[in-house]
Each structure stands twice: as structure tokens, then as C-alpha cells.
Amino acid sequence: MSLTIRQRGVKVFQAIQADASQGVQAVASVIGISKSSVHRHQQAIERRNQHPESSWWETEAGSAWLKRLVVGSIFFFGIKHGIGVGELSQFLKALRLERHVGCSASALARLKQQLNDTIEAYGAAQAEHCQPKAGQGICVGGDEVFFGLPVLVLAELASGYLFTEVQCEDRSYETWVAQIQAWWHQRGWQCHFMVSDRAKALIKLATDGLGCVSVADWFHALRALGQPIGRAIGRQQGRLAKQIRTLTAQRDATQREAKRLELTQALAVLSTQQETLAQDQHRYHHAITTLTVSLHPFDLKTQAPQTWSDITPPFQTTLVHLRELSQTYGGQKAMAAINSFERQLPDIARGLHAWWQWALQALAAQTSSLEVQNWVLMSVLPWVYWQQQTDKTQQPDLKARYQQAASEAAQHLVAHPLTQTMAADDRQGWIDWARWMADRYQRTSSAVEGRNGYLSRLHHAGRGFSPQTLKGLTIIHNFHLKRPDGTTAAQRLFGYDFPDLFEWLVDHTGDLPVARQSRKAQRPNPFYLKGFPA
């Protein structure tokens, strides 16, 4: 195989470094190229070596690292984060690389297109390993994000793997079904439930297209419920704070005792109103928190499994409190939001029932022992579940409550007789299964919402998406982005150790563009030569 221009340059540099006294003829015979080629490379090396670090780029290790640097700059900044090739060109020139690699915007644009092609080739090469196990269960979430044309996003919620991410003219049921044909009907997935907002097309996609339960998204429902009351309380707090600041300034500025007394009395009234408002805000936050901690497969205090009939009483009591608050804050909008939330409760509860049915089926497939099944459901699964909830939440109060629940569940697990008698390997196997099952309880499509936010930023930065760009971003999401445990979405869903995408790009990208010096840049400034300021 013939050497590239860069490889020839490295060979010439190595030969010169080995023996600086060698002539052109000797170097040419060692490398196997013509004397004129050696002479041209020598001249090029002399032109490039303008800085202290320049000679290192001529070595084999330096050339390989230079390739990694340029490919990494375009991949991480240009493709993943939407930085333009003009900025990348300035960045590489600031690193004083313009004599060693093509750093012009046009050269980097061609290299970026080459990397996009390689990313697409990577996705095609890994397709054979993206096959589900027989009857593998999944839970999905779907939503749309609008950039002129809507982008339809359908993700497997437990792993975060994107099944569908495509820009279409509309978001009807027929369009959604057409997009899932390639992976749904040909691969044997078993979808247990789909979480979405209450868009009719997505509800029909779940029930008719995927043949599963349609679950109302908890994130959308809770946000719509709390906005009218929360905003009304916030506005009143802002008005009261402004009035208190104004009256305080007036009281401090006045010299008349009667006026000071009048302002002090007015401030006392406002302070009482502020205290009442703070109490109402606390009631509001407590109601929202009660709803949040109630919608779990296990009771937060007793660790007992719970279904919709178990969580209905706290839900109804909380809605009564919110209706009382709506009389003062939010008015008709708040009451309408509460009624809408109440109508969605059966759809929210379907997710809880679907998960329990899935857990029972999966556990029965693992063991027929009722003793082991009860131990896993009543002891192992609650402990693992509350541990995961503790890790997920960032809210201090919720984290503390989930930690307490996990601690109590751990005590119950340790005290169980089967925990003491079961072999360590078997016990760890059931803990791993419980982690897998707990991951499958998904009550929101927040992963899809997060993806929509990521796409919105890139769409704005790049002024739109081409089909190839969007496909490449999907492959990057599935095979490159990692969670803190170091796994990608594809690894979590398919259980296969896929090759690193960036390393694949470095290995499958050809030689970097050769540096070119513009004739325009070499041309002297005539005004400068005549004594005028440049």
C-alpha cells in the first residue's frame, strides 16, 4: 500500500533524525521514494518548523496525536455541540497548527462531512448487534419537538435508547406508525407501556400501534396542576415584597412622627399578609410533595407494595387542599387544572399496574418458588428501588426521605431468614435482577423532554438539521453518551459491549487535510510598502 503524503513526511523526518549527515540520495533509497520527493519534503519540514513544538508533529507519535486532536475537536465541538467550522478554524490556528494540517474553514467542513459519513457507517456496522432477546420487554416514551417541521422522538425510557428521531411534515398517528415499522414489527419487542402527554396520536400509537398500555406523563400532569397556584402565590409574594421595600424606605426618610406611625402600622399589616402567604405557600409545596412521594410502587413509610387503590386516599385528600388554595390563588384556571389532573389519574395509575404485572411475569419466569418470589418482591425490590430513587433526586428533602425508606427496607431485608441462608452468588443475582426491574418503573417521559432541549440548542446553533445530521446525532446519543456508570444507551438495552465511537472515528478517518498556504496571505500589502499604516 502506497504511503500518504503525511506518512512520507514522517519517514523523511525519521531518516533525517537518525542521521543528519545523510544526503538526499541516501534518504530516498531508505524510504523508497524519489530524490525530488525527499527534497520537497525536506523543504516542507523546514517551512513547518516555525515553533518550539513543531518538530514533534513530524514524529510518528506526534502525527497520530495531531490526528486525534483535530478529529476530536470537530467531533466533540463541531458535531456534538454545534460549533461552526469558522470557530474551529480559529481554534486550531491558535494552537499554531496551520502549517501542519489544513485549518481553513473549507478544509474542516470537508473533514466534518467525512466524520458524519463515518458515524453513519458505524451505526450500520453495529446494527447486527442491536437485536432484542426473544420477547424482551421495554417501556417507551414519545413526544414531539418543533423546529418548523416537528421532530418525532421515541425513546426506551429505562435505557435512554432512541428508537425514532426523525423530522416529519406532521405528527399524526399514521406518521408515527410509519416511523416505527423498521424496528417494531421486524424485531420481536414486547412493549409493556408507553408514557406520553395526552396527545391523541400518541395515545393511539400506544394502544393500536404498539399494543400496550398508554400512561399519562407525570411530569406534564404535575406541572400543569401546580402552575396556576404556584404562579399566583409567586406574584403576590413579589408585590408584597415590593410594597414593603417602598414603605420601609418612606418610613426611614420621613421626619414626621405621625407619618412614621402610619407607615409602621401599614408595614405591620403587610407583614401579617406576608406570613399568611408563606403559610399558604408551604401548604402548596406540601401538597405537591405528597403527590410526588405517593406515586411509587411501594409505600414510603411501610415499604409495602401499593396499587392505585392504596394511593387514592392521599391523592384525594391532597386535591381537597389544593381546591381550598385555588379559592384564593389562581381562581378558575387553578380549578380547571385540578379537574384536568383528576381526570388523568386513571391514566397515571395504569403505569403502576402495568409495571407490577411486568414484575410478576418476569419474576415467575426466573423462579417458581413462592418463597423466593415473596422475598424478592417484599424485601429485595423495595430496598433497591428506594436506593435508586435516592440517587436520582436532587431535592434535599426528598433525598432524605428516600434515604430513610432505603434504610428501613435494608433492615427488613437483613432480618429476613432467606437473606441469611441464601448463597452469596444467588443473593447477588437477585439484587441485580431487582435493579433491572426497578429501572423499568418509569412514570415520566422526562428523558424525551431532555432530548428535546438538547436538539433545540443544536437546531439554533446550526440553523436547522439535515437528515444526515439528525441521524448522526441519534447514533451519538445511543452509542457514545454515557451515564455515570460508564454505559451507553445501546449497552444498557442490548447488553452488548459496542466499540467506542470516537476510537472508531479516529481509526476509520483517513489522512488529515494537507496544510495549504494561501497566495493571498503571502502577497505583501502595497500600502504597507509605501509607508502607509497596514
Quote the DSSP letter at residue 466: -
Could you give the CA distance from residue 100 to residue 50 in angstroms, rounded to a whole number? 11
Residue whose C-alpha is closest to residue 351's, from 308, 294, 302, 292? 308
Torsion sign (Cα): 349, 351, 353, 356? negative
Residue ranges of the chain whose pLDDT lies below 50: 1, 21, 521-522, 527-530, 532-534
* 3-class secondary structure, 58: coil
φ, ψ of residue 441 to 5 degrees: the values are -85, 110
* Grid cell in block for residue 182: 423498521
Query: Torsion over CA of 348, 349, 353 and 356, rounded to 10 degrees?
Result: 80
Torsion sign (Cα): 381, 387, 391, 396? positive
Asked if 451 and 91 touch (Cβ cutoff 8 Å), the reply is no
Could you give the CA distance from residue 49 to residue 61 in angstroms, rounded to a whole number? 16
pLDDT score for 375 = 96
* Grid cell in block for residue 530: 509605501
Q: How far is CA 186 from the centre of its chain?
A: 28
* 3-class secondary structure, 238: helix
- The residue type found at 439 is D
Q: Under CATH, what is the fold of the domain 131-217+445-495?
A: Nucleotidyltransferase; domain 5 (3.30.420)
Tell which phi-psi region holds residue 265, choosing left (phi > 0), alpha (psi between -120 and 50) or beta. Answer: alpha
Number of neighbouring beta carbons within 10 Å of residue 454:
16
Residue whose C-alpha is closest to residue 287's, from 328, 251, 315? 315
For the chain, the maximum distance between any two Cα atoms, rounded to a whole number of angstroms, is 107
pLDDT digits over 52-66, tens only? 877 777 788 888 999
**Pairing between strand 149-156 and 213-216?**
unpaired
pLDDT score for 120 = 96
- The residue type found at 455 is L
Quote the DSSP letter at residue 74: I
Residue whose C-alpha is closest to residue 475's, from 117, 169, 194? 117
pLDDT score for 458 = 82
Could you give the CA distance from residue 534 to residue 529 in angstroms, rounded to a whole number? 9
pLDDT digits over 95-142, tens only? 998 888 889 999 999 999 999 999 999 999 999 999 888 778 999 999
The residue extents of the domains of the chain are: 5-127, 131-217+445-495, 218-366
Could you give the CA distance from residue 445 to residue 483 in angstroms, rounded to a whole number? 17
Number of neighbouring beta carbons within 10 Å of residue 518:
8
Please state, in angstroms and as integers, the Cα–Cα distance from residue 403 to each residue in 113, 375, 387, 393, 407, following that order. Answer: 49, 21, 7, 11, 6
For residue 403, give every residue at least 6 positions away whose Cβ sits within 8 Å of its Cβ, in sequence order, or none: 386, 390
**Pairing between strand 137-147 and 149-156?**
antiparallel
Torsion sign (Cα): 118, 119, 124, 130? positive
**Pairing between strand 190-196 and 137-147?**
parallel
Q: Which string of b and e fits 381-413 if b means at least 16 CB within 10 Å?
A: bbbbbbbbbbeebeeeebeebbeebbebbbebb
DSSP 169-199: S---HHHHHHHHHHHHTTTT-EEEEEEE-S-
Distant-in-sequence contacts of 123-126, Cβ < 8 A, 24+ apart: 123/471, 123/475, 123/479, 126/479, 126/490, 126/498, 126/499
DSSP 357-410: HHHHHHHHHH---HHHHHHIIIIIHHHHHHHHHHHH---HHHHHHHHHHHHHHH
Model confidence, pTM: 0.84
Residue whose C-alpha is closest to residue 229's, from 295, 167, 282? 282
Partners of 214 in beta bridges: 194
Residue 213 burial (C-beta neighbours within 10 Å; 0-12, 13-18, 19+): buried
